[in-house]
Amino acid sequence: MTLIPSWIEAANAADCPFPVNNLPYGVFSTPSLPPRCGVAIGDQVIDVAALVSSGLVKVDAGLFAAPSWNAFMAAGPSAWQHLRDSLQRLLAADGDRALAESQSTRARVMHALADVTLHLPFTVAEYTDFYAGRHHATNVGTMFRGADNALPPNWLHMPIGYNGRASSVVVSGTDFHRPLGQRKPSGEDNPVFTPCRRLDFELELGAVVGTGNALGAPVSVAKADAMIFGYVLLNDWSARDIQAWEYQPLGPFQAKAFATSISPWIVAGAALAPFRVASPARDVALLPYLQDDNPMLLDIDLAVDLQPEGAAAPTVLARTNARELYYSSAQQLAHHAVGGCPMRTGDLLGSGTISGPNRDSRGSLLELSWGGQEPLTLDTGETRSFLEDGDTVTLRGQANGDGYTVGFGACSGTVLPAIADPFAV
């Protein structure tokens, strides 16, 4: 697909993340307006409720009464496609000129992106994090179990995951304190309670569930694919030392419960449809309920950078691509529901860390520094094995079309010092 030209000139630049081809969904506010649903186009954001009230888009206004896309997501794929078609018709250069030619309507419904504050775009119902990147799983397994036993016996047969904390999912730009917890220093008999010493990021893609399934009703991969409303960038911040002590036998708990950052815009599945690619060759055949007949991975370039406090510019740590995943979001969702688990509107599925085959394509510091044994040198001359207080980590992602870009907006967060006296009254 090529660029769909718009009468909004900024949307036509090849490097603009928000052309007519994209139209991602977010929640914004201004100094005079409370949070509300918006759609990004070029250097502008459209107030969807105001647009609907203008009569230029025929959609149930009640779907946008709250500052969240959940009600609209629950309306299902037909509603999603109708709104997308309507917006593209109004914003395309050769489409309906009603908005383009009405200065008063534009003044009511359009706001400069530079002047708005972005919020969490949907209410997160539940959060599940998977472990669906083969390079990441192999690297981590090699570090802890050796190359011959890197992948657990079940890994090539199903997407492994754990239930996380929806309450700690935050929008890009939300800073967080270094977590506290139990960790067991090497050589010691007992654990200690301290701030995390091995704080890490994880470069992931998040799938946002739009419609759910009934209790006890599994869904096929194709059905799961249709249930996904869109995608966000996701950073599942991780306390590696706390995790190392707590994860056996039930997996991560406090090490993953303090913050998970997502990008502020949900990129619709329809916007990413031209970038679908085939799954990798399988070492072993998947069971029928996990097999996919159509390309379901996504060709999205991903990058992560780190900027220490006071540094003039960030250092790019890694570049990879979402096509490196072994299991698609649809396969993860189908597996999640196969035992009868009811998925709900607003469920968030993290892909797990997305790493590539080379050192500069590893999606976590655990891998980049090989467990701290090979510290990285930043452009400032500083070194990092794990994150320091004041570090800002930013994830970026974009799919590159013919003369256009589909972007997510940055996903960033800054590490604040641990709370000095957490139990003070």
Active site residue 336: no
Please state, in angstroms and rounded to a whole number, the distance separating the CA atoms of residues 245 and 388. Answer: 21
Which candidate in 136, 157, 177, 335 is catalytic? Answer: 136
Handedness of CA 137, 142, 147, 152 (dihedral sign): negative
Pull the structure tokens for residue 356.
């590539």
Task: At 394, give phi and psi (nearest 5°).
Answer: -130, 125
Between CA 345 and CA 273, with CA 69 as vertex, the angle to 5 degrees is 80
Kindly state the helix (H) or strand (E) to which residue 231 belongs, with its residue range: strand 228-235
Please report where in the chains the tokens 């991975």 appear, as a residue: 297
| Euclidean distance between CA atoms 195 and 193, whole angstroms | 7
401 Cβ contact partners less than 8 Å away, ≥ 6 residues apart? 1, 2, 3, 21, 274, 275
The rounded distance, in Å, linking the Cα atoms of 369 and 359 is 9
Partners of 213 in the beta sheet? none
Q: How far is it, in rounded angstroms, from Cα 304 to Cα 310? A: 18
Within 10 angstroms of residue 405's Cβ, the number of other Cβ atoms is 19
Please work out, in degrees rounded to the nearest 5, the angle formed at the alpha carbon of residue 194 by the alpha carbons of 193 and 196: 125
- For 357, other C-beta atoms within 10 Å of its C-beta total 12
Neighbours of 300 (CB within 10 A): 24
To which H or E segment does residue 413 belong?
strand 411-416
Q: What are the catalytic residues?
A: 136
